[in-house]
Structure 1
Amino acid sequence: MDSRLSTKDKILELLKKEKSMTVSQLSKRLGITEMAVRKHLNMLERDSLLTVSEVKQPMGRPLQVFALSPKADELFPKNYENMTVEFLHDLKELHGEEIIDYLLEKRSERQKNSYLPNMQGKTAAEKVEKLTEIQNGKGYMADVTKIDDDTYEIVEHNCPIFAVAKEFKKACACETGMFKKVLGADQVERMTCRADNGDHCRFFVKFNQKKKLNV
């Protein structure tokens, strides 16, 4: 086990490998007291990273057994992005660039249909705020700034599909187009892009006065 890991991380790593362990087992593996183990377990349980079950014993009190919660499992590295990129490259090799464009456009259309019901009856400002809220729920860490009554700036500090966007710029174009359709804006322009080595993705959004209320 990596000695540079914190005790909390060591516990998480052990539970990932062993699936479930008792306080006594953790104490022996970590070389610390059971009291110290319980202190760390209490913190992990408070953060909803553990599940606790009780196993009946022939004598005495039931034995507490600790395991990782689904939330804790999300802390461990996943390779979904790289696998997705590899699949897309394979599809491109087999069927050409057109199949990639089709798939990304299909995803964009699905997003548009999902987002649009949230925009009904909203003003331009409310639409932009709602779009930012939806994007934040998907991990984009988005902010919005009002420039004037018709103009807004959206900044996304994170890109959950960065690995795909870096390889297939069509993904960025589809997102920009989807924003324009969902907002009903006259103009949505991507000013900076993480896939082009920018620090963030920044969008300029311009509304026509007549389109500011979607009835």
Structure 2
Amino acid sequence: MGAVAKTNETQAGDGDTRRKILLILLERAPVIASDIAEQLQLSTVGVRRHLDNLVEDNLAEAVNPRQNPYEPKMRGRPAKTYRLTDKGRSIFGHEYDSLAAAALATLREVGGDQAVRQFARKRIEAIVEGITPADVSDQSIEDTAKSLVEAFSRHGYAATVEANRNGLQLCQHHCPISTVAAEFPELCEAEHQAVSEILGQHTQPLATIADGHGICTTNIPLTPIKHS
């Protein structure tokens, strides 16, 4: 009985670790095994075992490492990075996709493209409601970007923001409406427009989950918008 109980405890612990790794892949991908191990205070070997199992179950995939152009190139082979597959993302839910797509299709039939754009605008306004637009200072822009990240994350986007050489980079590691947004890009367009208006900055969409990328990435150069 003791051996059976110990085996069950081990399996339960493995299941908990597996869920934590999936969540890290959702929020931070692409990520290397050693970074996951450091965050969870586990051995890199153990984390790689979990990652191999996730890849085998088609919940995660290994992707080609990307060298940061602003970091010095290192000798040797770059560490393998991992991200979730569509199946892995589905664990975190894409509720009511079919219903939402059908509703928007009907809205387009009845009211045309403008009606869909108006709906998308109202949706994002509800998400960012209460966020005070940034002033011209870099600190205000960064603080407002963090408020946007918190608002998006409360709505299931697993968002992050980081400073880069030329400004800020806003990432959404999960999109709860990606399936619908693939059919109705007005949803993404409204998000980008709202972010630009609140930050008072131009935005440069670099990648979207709706288009098949692993992360929605928006570059925000810290250059104020000039109003005529």
TM range (shorter): 0.5 to 0.7
The aligned amino acid for 1:205 is I
Cα deviation per residue 1:133-172 (whole Å; 9 max; x = unaligned)? Answer: 2211211111211114x60111111011212211100111
Aligned length: 135
Structure 1 contact 115–182 (Cα < 8 Å) conserved? no
Structure with higher Rg: it is 1
Q: Could you tell me how far 1:104 is from its partner in structure 2?
A: 1.3
In the alignment, which of 174, 191, 198 is matched to residue 206 of structure 2?
A: 191
**Structure 1 gaps, min length 5:** 1-7, 9-74
Which residue matches 1:141?
Answer: 158
CA distance in 1 between counterparts of 2:92 and 2:169 reads 34
Instruction: Give the aligned partner of residue 205 of structure 1.
Output: 220
Could you say if the C-alpha distance between residues 183 and 86 of structure 1 is closer, same or farther in structure 2, counting changes exceeding 3 Å? same
Structure number having the greater strand percentage: 1
Q: Is 1:151–2:167 an aligned residue pair?
A: yes
Question: How far apart are residue 128 of structure 1 and its match?
Answer: 1.6
Deviation at 1:208, TM superposition (A): 3.1
CA deviation string 1:176-197 (max 9, x = no partner)? 0100111122x11110011111
RMSD value over aligned CA atoms? 3.1
CA contact (8 A) 1:119 1:130 kept: no
3-state SS in 2 of match to 1:117:
coil
Q: Is the 8 A contact 1:145 1:152 kept in 2?
A: yes
The reply to whether residue 97 of structure 1 matches residue 113 of structure 2 is yes
For residue 131 of structure 2, the aligned residue among 106, 113, 116 is: 116
Question: What are the superposed Cα offsets for residues 44-93 of structure 1, whole Å, 9 maximum, x if unpaired?
Answer: xxxxxxxxxxxxxxxxxxxxxxxxxxxxxxx9988522111111112222
Name the structure 2 match of 1:84. 100
TM-score normalised by length of structure 1: 0.54
What SS does the corresponding residue of 2:203 show, helix, strand or coil? strand
Q: Match of 1:146, as an amino acid?
A: A
- After superposition, the Cα gap between the structure-2 partners of 1:210 and 1:88, relative to the gap in structure 1 and judged at 3 Å, is closer
Q: Distance in 2 between matches of 1:83 and 1:158?
A: 20
Tell me the distance in 2 between the aligned counterparts of 1:193 and 1:126: 24
**Contact 2:182-2:211 at 8 Å conserved across structures:** yes
Write the deviation string for residues 93-141 of structure 1: whole angstroms up to 9, x where unpaired.
23322221221123234445x1433757962221222211221121111
Q: Aligned match of 2:179 in 133, 148, 163?
A: 163
Helix, strand or coil: the match of 2:108? helix
Q: Is the Cα–Cα contact under 8 Å of residues 92 and 100 in structure 1 kept in the other structure?
A: yes
Contact 1:111–1:178 at 8 Å: present in 2 too? Answer: no
How many Å separate the matches in 2 of 1:77 and 1:133?
19
Contact preservation (8 Å) 1:153, 1:205: yes
